[in-house]
């Protein structure tokens, strides 16, 4: 199965892993629609990548999301990358209930994407969620992120049974060099290099490397209910 002339929708597709996936899918001949809640990002990426159809959409706006999906008609592949949450890295006992719950906004956003897109996905098409390595290897201070990732991976396996032959998979990245680390400012490069020293492959990952795994989940017609780890070996003991 290839992506030529297939309709691909990426929710969270204007930066990082989502954008890398959108660009690669477009290069493989797909008709790509990529969403972001940021109007500024949509406008900026639309000028940089005129062959991709960027549009503004919040993953938590159910009515708007449904309208956006239905405007596209039948869809072949959907990817959910948008975080849609303000996540706090802190030990469980140092987080308020509200802070812990906030991390789960990613999960609730993904359920919106699933519920509203699945009726439009063609038979043999796919839905791919992006989770992360903390779901199975949780460092101190990442309890809410880990729990959210476990929920996402559990949902994908349940849906794979319920909506077959539509395929549902997860791609779980390790530490990836994305805009999420821009908060580190001038120290970003040094910090990522230091993180990479503790990864078996010796460096952090690139968005494009995760994008290739997402495309594999789309293109492999015999893959469903699976979690693909693209983490440089970080899950190894």
Ordered by where they begin, the domains of the chain are 7-229 (3.40.50.720)
d(CA 22, CA 12): 10
Dig out the tokens for 156 from the structure.
């994908």
53-56 vs 31-36, strand pairing mode: parallel
Dig out the tokens for 85 from the structure.
């949450």
Q: Which residues contact 159 (CB under 8 A, 6 or more apart)?
A: 114, 118, 127, 168
pLDDT at res. 190: 96
User: What would the mean pLDDT of 131-157 be, rounded to a whole number?
Assistant: 95
pLDDT at res. 40: 96
pLDDT in tens, 71-104: 999 999 999 999 877 878 899 999 999 999 999 9
**In which band, very low, low, confident or very high, does the pLDDT at 233 lie, cut at 50, 70 and 90?**
very high
pLDDT at res. 195: 96
pLDDT at res. 87: 78
Answer yes or no: are the C-beta atoms of 124 and 222 closer than 8 Å: no
Q: Is the pLDDT of residue 159 over 80?
A: yes
Q: Is the pLDDT of residue 62 over 80?
A: yes
In angstroms, the first-to-last Cα distance of the chain is 35
User: What would the mean pLDDT of 142-162 be, rounded to a whole number?
Assistant: 96
Percent of the chain with pLDDT over 70: 100
Percent of the chain with pLDDT over 90: 93
pLDDT in tens, 166-224: 999 999 999 999 988 998 999 999 999 999 999 999 999 999 999 999 999 999 999 99
pLDDT at res. 1: 81
**In which band, very low, low, confident or very high, does the pLDDT at 29 lie, cut at 50, 70 and 90?**
very high
Distances (CA, A) of 127 to 7, 64, 121, 166, 215: 12, 19, 8, 8, 11
Q: Is the pLDDT of residue 116 over 90?
A: yes
pLDDT at res. 131: 96
**In which band, very low, low, confident or very high, does the pLDDT at 30 lie, cut at 50, 70 and 90?**
very high
> What single-letter DSSP state applies at residue 176?
B
d(CA 12, CA 184): 22
Distances (CA, A) of 104 to 60, 152, 172, 177: 12, 10, 17, 23
Distance of alpha carbon 154 from the chain centroid: 15
């Amino acid at each position: 199965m290839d992506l030529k002339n297939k309709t691909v929708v990426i929710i969270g597709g204007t930066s990082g892993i989502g954008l890398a996936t959108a660009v690669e899918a477009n290069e493989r001949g797909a008709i790509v629609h990529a969403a972001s809640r940021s109007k500024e990002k949509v406008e900026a990426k639309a000028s940089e990548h005129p062959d991709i159809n960027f549009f503004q959409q919040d993953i938590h706006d159910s009515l708007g999301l449904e309208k956006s999906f239905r405007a596209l008609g039948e869809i072949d592949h959907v990817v959910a990358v948008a975080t849609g949450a303000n996540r706090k890295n802190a030990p469980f006992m140092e987080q308020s209930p509200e802070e812990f719950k906030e991390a789960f906004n990613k999960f609730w956003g993904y359920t919106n994407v699933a519920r509203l897109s699945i009726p439009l996905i063609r038979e043999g098409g796919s839905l791919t969620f992006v989770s992360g390595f903390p779901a199975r290897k949780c460092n101190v201070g990442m309890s809410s992120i880990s729990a959210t990732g476990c929920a996402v991976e559990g949902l994908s396996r349940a849906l794979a049974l319920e909506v077959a032959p539509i395929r549902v998979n997860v791609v779980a990245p390790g530490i990836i060099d994305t805009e999420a680390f821009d908060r580190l400012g001038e120290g970003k490069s040094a910090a990522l290099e230091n993180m990479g020293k503790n990864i078996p492959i010796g460096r952090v990952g690139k968005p494009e490397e995760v994008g290739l795994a997402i495309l594999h989940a789309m293109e492999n017609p015999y893959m469903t209910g699976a979690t693909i780890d693209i983490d440089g070996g970080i899950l190894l003991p």
